[in-house]
Copies of this chain bind each other. A is one copy, B any other.
């Protein structure tokens, strides 16, 4: 049994979301270990000590993060010592590391950083390749407690380099546990469930997770024989593909963005973008991926009508007659983007993201998407629900899905 313990006042006050526990769970799950509890408490010595004792009573391993920094609210080391009845001592080797680290990055060491050298007396040290805070391991009864800094980069580096190899030795070999993730766009959760729920059975679970605006279908199979588990997953995934068709847009690590990127590369086609209501979001998502310069020629964010005329050649009288949010302007933007960039495809979006700017004929959420190619231009009107963020995200994902379908068609 493995538990994570995330420590920080900000977590208790809701000021930050905890990404450390999910990271640790993901890493462990990739090795076949499941975490059974995530617990989070504030920067309070007594509360941390109580949490450690509670978890230690029913878990073989606790991976705790946070509260090892140089400031006065960092009390995790003291709390861990208190939970297991240890003394705190100044660890010379840690002090040496902190000084060497400061020297290496050319920073003068702040005296407050010396606090980070005070650790429980018998703690086994966990080196930190990225920062000043050492982690440590404390054993008590049948429980091993690992404590890491809360800074995500440092935590991740230390978990991967030291904790994971230690856990492989410490814990019994787990059964084979494999997951296949299938990502669906355009079908509601209940509909997906109705189509595939009967595929669950002995050794295989089917779960659903809404990651707006997509639904992720998780197939989780377990068993003692890896080849059989994989065969079961392959077979089940095959059936899911048949039942969901092209609504299934990606599997595993692939995302809408990476699928579109891969298809652009495979088809050796190029793209120009013209964005109005998404304001650069589509360009940002495309250029999030390294290597996007191979197919992404240029993008323009044309908020003002004058920008649509200047950068895309949309006729002023068209903007005047039918308005910027219209089938005709979307088409002119897509064609203009394509022609001016000399790209294979031109994608344009124009719409009312809100909260203002809506009207009776064009309420908030009204969006036109247009995709121009050598053969002409496809344009469609959508009415998306939700607030500004949701309208923008759904517009971007729908536009990317259009690119996916267009690239698959050739």
A207-B10, A281-B284, A287-B280 given; A36·B26 CB < 8 A: no
Q: Is A299 interfacial (CB 8 A cutoff)?
A: yes
Q: Is A9 interfacial (CB 8 A cutoff)?
A: yes
- Can you list, as one digit per residue, whether each of A46-57 has a CB less than 8 Å from chain B (1) or not (0)? 010001001000
CB distance from A157 to the nearest CB of B (A): 13
* Segment of A37-45, A160-168, A328-336 in the binding face: A37-45
The answer on a CB contact under 8 Å between B14 and A21 is: yes
Q: Which residues of B contact A283 (CB under 8 A)?
A: 279-280, 283-284, 301
Q: Is A408 interfacial (CB 8 A cutoff)?
A: no
- Can you list, as one digit per residue, whether each of A21-32 has a CB less than 8 Å from chain B (1) or not (0)? 111111111000
CB distance from A131 to the nearest CB of B (A): 11
Cα distance A356–B220 when bound, in Å?
35
Which residues of A, 185-240, contact B by the 8 Å Cβ criterion? 188-191, 193-194, 197, 200, 205-211, 216, 218, 220
Q: Is A13 interfacial (CB 8 A cutoff)?
A: yes
A9-B207, A303-B292 given; A18·B15 CB < 8 A: no
Contact of A297 among B21, B24, B27, B303 (CB under 8 A): B303
**Least CB separation from A304: chain B residue:** B297
Cα distance A284–B287 when bound, in Å?
12
Contact of A14 among B23, B216, B388 (CB under 8 A): B23
**Least CB separation from A212: chain B residue:** B152
A22-B11, A207-B10, A210-B151 given; A280·B299 CB < 8 A: yes
The answer on a CB contact under 8 Å between B47 and A41 is: no
CB distance from A6 to the nearest CB of B (A): 8
CB distance from A154 to the nearest CB of B (A): 11
Cα distance A303–B284 when bound, in Å?
12
For chain A, give the interface size range: 35 or more
The answer on a CB contact under 8 Å between A207 and B14 is: no
A208-B71, A301-B300 given; A218·B10 CB < 8 A: yes
CB distance from A36 to the nearest CB of B (A): 7
Q: Is A298 interfacial (CB 8 A cutoff)?
A: yes
Contact of A291 among B282, B292, B356 (CB under 8 A): B356
Q: Which residues of B contact A112 (CB under 8 A)?
A: 190, 193-194, 197
Cα distance A388–B290 when bound, in Å?
8
Q: Which residues of B contact A73 (CB under 8 A)?
A: 205-208
Cα distance A6–B38 when bound, in Å?
9
Cα distance A72–B205 when bound, in Å?
10
The answer on a CB contact under 8 Å between B15 and A37 is: no
Q: Which residues of B contact A42 (CB under 8 A)?
A: 34, 36
**Least CB separation from A291: chain B residue:** B356
A38-B11, A300-B301 given; A290·B356 CB < 8 A: yes
Cα distance A299–B34 when bound, in Å?
47
Contacts from A to B (Cβ < 8 Å)? 6, 8-19, 21-29, 34-43, 47, 51, 54, 69-73, 107, 110, 112-113, 151, 179, 181, 188-191, 193-194, 197, 200, 205-211, 216, 218, 220, 273, 275, 278-284, 286-288, 290-293, 296-304, 306-307, 310-311, 340-341, 353-356, 388-389, 392
Top 9 closest A-B pairs, CB basis?
A: A279-B287, A280-B283, A14-B25, A14-B26, A280-B280, A298-B307, A299-B301, A14-B22, A38-B40
Can you report 25 residue pairs joining A to B where beta carbons are below 8 Å apart? A9-B218, A12-B36, A14-B35, A15-B181, A17-B18, A18-B18, A39-B40, A71-B207, A72-B193, A112-B197, A113-B190, A273-B301, A279-B283, A279-B287, A279-B296, A280-B284, A280-B299, A288-B388, A290-B353, A291-B356, A293-B303, A293-B304, A296-B301, A297-B307, A300-B300
